[in-house]
Amino acid sequence: MHINYNDPVLWLSYRFACDAKARNQNIEKKFLDFFKHHNHQLHLADVGAGTGANFRYYFDKIPQNQEWVFIEQDPRMIKATLHCLEKFAQDRDYRLQQNHDTLTISHQDKTAHIKLLQGTLDRIEHLADLQKVDVVTANAFFDLISYDQFEIFTRKLSENEVCLLATLNYYETSFLPFSECDHRFLRFYHMHMKRPQSFGIAMGRDCSEEMLDLLRQHHMLIEQEASQWHISRSNTAMHHFLLNFMEKAIHELNLVPEEQHDFNNWMAEKKKLCHDRLLEINVDHSDIFAYPD
């Protein structure tokens, strides 16, 4: 089967199982316990919602009725989200209704209303009415925005006493078997994450540390634990996705010819290991639950 490794919707479908397995259960329990005695509908804003992975993961785990706002920048994701939610409901025999930009999913005595909102994520706090939100969720998102953007966002969270559940915050990638050149080219990969962009410099692999710093500055209480992908030898599709991302990123750095030649050889070696089902990849993240003091 041919897989388009440049398709962002397909990428999210493949990573869903890895995310679900990696999510830290202690952080998840802290989040669910925090709202255990919440007697009203729970209001959630999902930032960088993609195809609704956070909703699909948490709907059955949260006991209350729910109102979600999916905030997504990529218009391709809106259509894909509708398809994913239809399949989610159909697979579980849940009721689904659609009214313009709002979906309703019901099961027994629990209901979730979902509003799909497309907009630029440069200023998250302008897209979500945080006065009406109990918790903001985000999966693998905050490494993509800058320290200054997160500072403004965190200030608004604190002012409105809104919780934050930020999962799969990227930190590091490692390969098995290890190569002497791994560190060299992963350093380039991490440099690409922190290249200058229109909004500034993304937090990249420093996101967890910088997020914790800002959350503390704004007097939020914090729980943080590790969440790791272990991509086994048999999961060659995920290997190819990750290698493709790295290859495209490093190409954009315009390395000098000698470095590009070395990188091409290194990448060819990784792809051969993948083809021979000898490659394993670990990707380290952290999960964070922050709540008002």
Instruction: List the domain boundaries for the chain.
Output: 8-173+199-232+284-292
Q: What mean pLDDT is reported for the chain? A: 95
> Does residue 9 have a pLDDT over 90?
yes
DSSP state of 209: H
Q: Which two tokens stand for residue 51?
A: 């195809």
Q: Which tens digits make up the pLDDT trace of 219-275?
A: 999 999 999 999 999 999 999 999 999 999 999 999 999 999 999 999 999 999 999
Contacts with 5 (C-beta within 8 Å, 6 or more apart), sequence order: 11, 240, 241, 244
What per-residue confidence (pLDDT) applies to 122?
A: 73
Euclidean distance between CA atoms 102 and 114, whole angstroms:
5
CATH architecture of 8-173+199-232+284-292: 3-Layer(aba) Sandwich (3.40)
N-term to C-term CA, the chain: 51
Reference 45, options 161, 152, 144, 125; nearest CA is 125
Q: Which tens digits make up the pLDDT trace of 156-213?
A: 999 999 999 999 999 999 999 999 999 999 999 999 999 999 999 999 999 999 999 9
> pTM above the 0.85 mark?
yes
> Does residue 120 have a pLDDT over 90?
no
Exposed / middle / buried, residue 219 (Cβ in 10 Å: 0-12, 13-18, 19+): exposed
The sheet with strand 95-99 has its strands ordered as 95-99, 102-107, 110-118, 66-72, 42-47, 135-139, 163-176, 280-292, 220-231
